[in-house]
Amino acid sequence: MNQLGQPILEARQLTKHFHAGSVMSRKIIRAAQDVSLSLYCGKVTALVGESGSGKSTTARMLVRLYEPTSGQIIFKGENVLKSRSRPAMLRYRSDVQMIFQDPFSSLNPVHTIRHHLKRPLILHKRVSSKSELEYSLGDLLNRVSLTPVHDFIDKYPHQLSGGQRQRVAIARALAVEPEVILADEPISMLDVSIRMGILNLMESLRDEQNIAFLYVTHDLASARYFSDQILVMYAGYMVEGGPSEELIQEPLHPYTKMLLSAVPDPSRGLLTRSDVEAKGEVPSLAAAITGCPFAPRCDRVMPECRVENPPVFQVSEDRWTRCYLYK
């Protein structure tokens, strides 16, 4: 992992607990526990998991929409959770940007594209004159291939297709010249025929501008296509990580194996029963779990799995998993 250099953004043992329920029946939702990850310039890290696995919570903590219950976020060697002053937050938020799943609700319907792109440029003081602003607006739309610019700049979101809207959202993120982009399911609401366009656009941003991406998704096939490394989350825990192709070809954790065998694969032909049976359901995050959260669904469960949640075991230089099978 050292060939990747210094991580630009790091999460160390991040934990997020939400409080739910009434005063009488307090419940703690353990959305993310002990999550550690590193993002590198010019690399895409995919965070894969089912709904409720904590992947979006992790992304939202990284962009500081959620305050972590405990843990550290290290950006360029500094713990950003220490400084809560407005200038520091402003600086962090222009360095770390987020793209959301739903381009239909992440843009304001009463404002034009110009307004959406102008605001970050002005708020983060990226432009100093009107002509500079016009130039930057044109440049942004060019970078996300919404050309000719005058066809789009004064349109309202409802006049654009889903893919075009997502491109506007990406342009808005690019306005502040971020070094890290956290993309939370950026293509899952789009039509199949245009999804690759968005992924390819982000790929070129990664390569040309050396942006570090966190790609949050439930879709392993697109994670394999787009990412350099994959991290798998289950029930709030990170259970496995490694280089994308290696992890897909040779999954370690039984959950990753189950997830992989559940992914539809046209080359398999008519539903062939996979070797790993997809069974059980994701546990409730409101109840405290003793032992490995995957134990109830695991076909290789051992007595110790039910006693204590396994720690991270380093399997090779760049592969690790949270499973006693690799002790």
Residues that bind other proteins (CB under 8 A): 50-51, 161, 163-164, 191-198, 200, 218-222, 224-226, 245, 248, 258-271, 273-274, 278-279, 281-282
Sheet bearing 96-99, strands edge to edge: 96-99, 180-184, 212-217, 44-48, 229-234, 237-243, 320-321, 313-314
Count of helix runs (H) and strand runs (E) in the chain = 10, 12
Q: How far apart are CA 293 and CA 27, in angstroms?
A: 18
Ramachandran angles phi, psi of 38, nearest 5°: -130, 135
Q: What angle do CA 224, 213, 247 make, to 5 degrees?
A: 30
Would you call the peptide bond into 148 cis, given omega within 30 degrees of 0 as the criterion?
yes
Q: Which pair of tokens denotes residue 207?
A: 């390569």
Nearest CB to other proteins, comparing residues 36 and 274: 274
Q: Which residues pair with 97 in a beta bridge?
A: 181
Other beta carbons within 10 angstroms of residue 272's beta carbon come to: 8
| Contact predicate 97/120, CB 8 Å | no
b/e code 16-45 from CB counts within 10 Å (16+ = b) = bbeeeeeeeeeeebbbbbbbebbbbbbbbb
Q: How far apart are CA 316 and CA 67, in angstroms?
A: 33
Three-state DSSP at 170 gives helix
Nearest CB to other proteins, comparing residues 150 and 279: 279
